[in-house]
Structure 1
Amino acid sequence: MDFIEVAIQAPEDFTDILTAELSEVGYDTFLDTDKGFNAYITEDIFNENELKEVVEKYAGMAPISYETSKIVKQNWNEEWEKNFEPLIIGNDVSVRASFHPKPENVTYDIVINPKMTFGTGHHETTTLMIENQLTVDHSGKRVLDMGTGTGILAIMACKLGAKEVVGVEIEDWSVENARENAEANDCPAITVHFGDVKVVENDEPYDIVLANINRNVLLADMQAYTKLLKAGGPLVLSGFYTEDLPVLQDEAKNCGLIFESHRTKNNWVSAIFRKP
């Protein structure tokens, strides 16, 4: 399937809110540029009227413009190679593409070849999730990673010692990409399923549940995540803004979860809840 690239020119202060708005209408990959960012969506669900509505919502506050172009799936590597830079998270974790040299003096080295899939570690939510993972004991644990994308969080779980990691993803190319990245990182403990939370609803409870998706999905599926979590286990969430944290806390409380901590970066949040 081919993709539509939307090259958006916008001030840095508006990139976060624009990416959040676009993610709500189907855009699932974003790359920063010198003038703003590029957003990607499959051609079959691209709707220019929806795009215009998002841009016009903020155009009165700042100079925002966009251009669209078509990208065939086979050319995706060329696109992200032009924009994907190595990343160090928390002084412990390196995230790089296979064509980057392995850095020295890091504890965990993650190789990600993202294709058309979200999750290179550059977005605040992914960084925050990894920072929270570093505080959670994964050794010998079973881990569920909802909305696995490139598989980066599943790979992090594996490198932290998880004995079994299950990723779930609604996009078929993301499933393929996550499996490829798991293999590239020598993580045979990772299994990736195509679908939503229903494909794992009958699984035995997991020691840890990770979900970096978006506010609406997190709220809709919180009860399912809670059911899939062992007593005493952490639920680590991201994909929402600081102003959304109270409503996530309320829903978590309704599900019997206890709020433990949260991290923020550029108004994005990753929070840890625990099942008593």
Structure 2
Amino acid sequence: MPWHQITLTTPRDHAEALEDTLLELGAVSVTLKDAADVPVLEPLPGETPLWPEVEVVGLFEETVDTAQVDQALSTRGIQGGAWDWIEDQDWERAWMDQFQPLRFGQRLWIVPSWIEAPDAQAVNILLDPGLAFGTGTHPTTALCLEWLDGAELQGKTVLDYGCGSGILAIAALKLGALEAWGIDIDPQALTATRDNAARNGIEAHRLHTGLPGTLPKDARFDVLLANILMGPLIELAPTLTEHVKPGGALVLSGLLAEQAEGVMAAYAAAFDFDPPALKDGWARLTARRR
């Protein structure tokens, strides 16, 4: 069955109200998209992140009277919707086709579970898109995975602070780390981390998960990764510093290139930093604890 699709652009503050309006007028689904290529980072629990300008796309059945929808929108002061005719398709297949295996460095691949790994001898992580942040598609995650691929992790202990999907902790373990902790403020992320670890054959005793308060205060790690946000990275600097062994590695990301200097300053008393690694305007910081 073909479909009618309407696309409207609206400021962030009006997007959710417009979504509700389209659903009220008979839309079978509504999608919110970035209207101006503005990045949105990992939200805090309970937040709904939106861009300054939002494309609101409503999908209607072919029998809808588009003129009637336009009139109903107009009476509510909403103008300028553009209609398109969408041929029917296998929507699940179309969604799955968006995701392909991704390679990071020389050894590491992230592979959706429904696709055969391109290199069976590589270090392959089975990971499907889900609710928790971190599937390898964002530049900050990619930068961290590339660092892990080139690091000497054999027998090391790793802390993934703000673990999201668990992708960094799982990658470290599959690349030779002895033990890892995945810490997050969102219980849903911890569930995703445990599920993804089990799917990848990670033994439960090698990966510990928990809220920040469950991490022992005297725990020290060879490698600490935190792919979160600039504000929390600065705020958490004393805490994260204490969890890195002398000589241990610190890997920070989740920040824009212009934010790197401020984050480095928060850790400068205890760490010697390498030059920032940059990708598509995002930054990764690496350092050694003195």
For the criterion TM > 0.5, the same-fold answer is yes
Which of 101, 104, 107 is the equivalent residue of 1:86? 101
Counterpart Cα distance in 1 of 2:94 and 2:159:
30
Q: Does residue 287 of structure 2 align to residue 266 of structure 1? A: no
Distance 1:275 1:45, change over 3 A: closer
Contact 2:182-2:208 at 8 Å conserved across structures: yes
How far residue 5 of structure 1 moved from its aligned partner, in angstroms, is 7.8
Counterpart Cα distance in 1 of 2:276 and 2:121:
24
Q: Give the letter aligned to residue 265 of structure 1.
A: K
Counterpart Cα distance in 2 of 1:68 and 1:233:
50
Q: Does residue 33 of structure 2 align to residue 8 of structure 1? A: yes
Q: Does residue 192 of structure 2 align to residue 177 of structure 1? A: yes
More helix by share: 1
Moved more, 104-113 or 91-100: 104-113
Which of 227, 231, 236 is the equivalent residue of 1:212? 227
Distance 1:252 1:119, change over 3 A: same
Structure 1: gaps of 5 or more residues = 27-41, 70-76
Q: Report 1:215-230 matches (<5 A).
A: 215-230=230-245
Contact 2:33-2:56 at 8 Å conserved across structures: yes
Distance 1:123 1:68, change over 3 A: farther
Counterpart Cα distance in 1 of 2:98 and 2:222:
36
Bigger Rg, structure 1 or 2: 2
Determine helix, strand or coil for the equivalent of 1:230.
Answer: strand
Task: Using structure 1 for the length normalisation, give the TM-score.
Answer: 0.74
Contact 1:182-1:190 at 8 Å conserved across structures: no
Distance 1:125 1:45, change over 3 A: closer
Q: Does residue 128 of structure 2 align to residue 138 of structure 1? A: no
Q: Give the letter aligned to residue 134 of structure 2.
A: G
Q: Give the letter aligned to residue 104 of structure 2.
A: I
Task: Using structure 2 for the length normalisation, give the TM-score.
Answer: 0.71
Counterpart Cα distance in 2 of 1:5 and 1:137:
46
Counterpart Cα distance in 2 of 1:258 and 1:66:
46
Counterpart Cα distance in 2 of 1:209 and 1:68:
43
Residue correspondences, number:
229
Superposed CA offset, 1:166-186 (max 9, x none): 111222221111111111111
Q: Report 1:70-85 matches (<5 A).
A: 81=96, 83-85=98-100
Structure 2: gaps of 5 or more residues = 1-28, 60-91
Percent identity, please. 28
Determine helix, strand or coil for the equivalent of 1:156.
Answer: helix
Q: Does residue 221 of structure 2 align to residue 231 of structure 1? A: no
Give the structure 2 partner of residue 162 of structure 1.
177
Give the structure 1 partner of residue 207 of structure 2.
191
Counterpart Cα distance in 2 of 1:156 and 1:269:
20
Contact 2:101-2:118 at 8 Å conserved across structures: no
Contact 2:253-2:284 at 8 Å conserved across structures: yes
Give the structure 2 partner of residue 31 of structure 1.
none
Distance 1:260 1:85, change over 3 A: same
Superposed CA offset, 1:193-228 (max 9, x none): 2323x3315242111111111111111111111101
Determine helix, strand or coil for the equivalent of 2:214.
Answer: helix
How far residue 261 of structure 1 moved from its aligned partner, in angstroms, is 3.6
Contact 2:108-2:149 at 8 Å conserved across structures: no
Q: Give the letter aligned to residue 108 of structure 1.
A: V
Distance 1:68 1:127, change over 3 A: farther
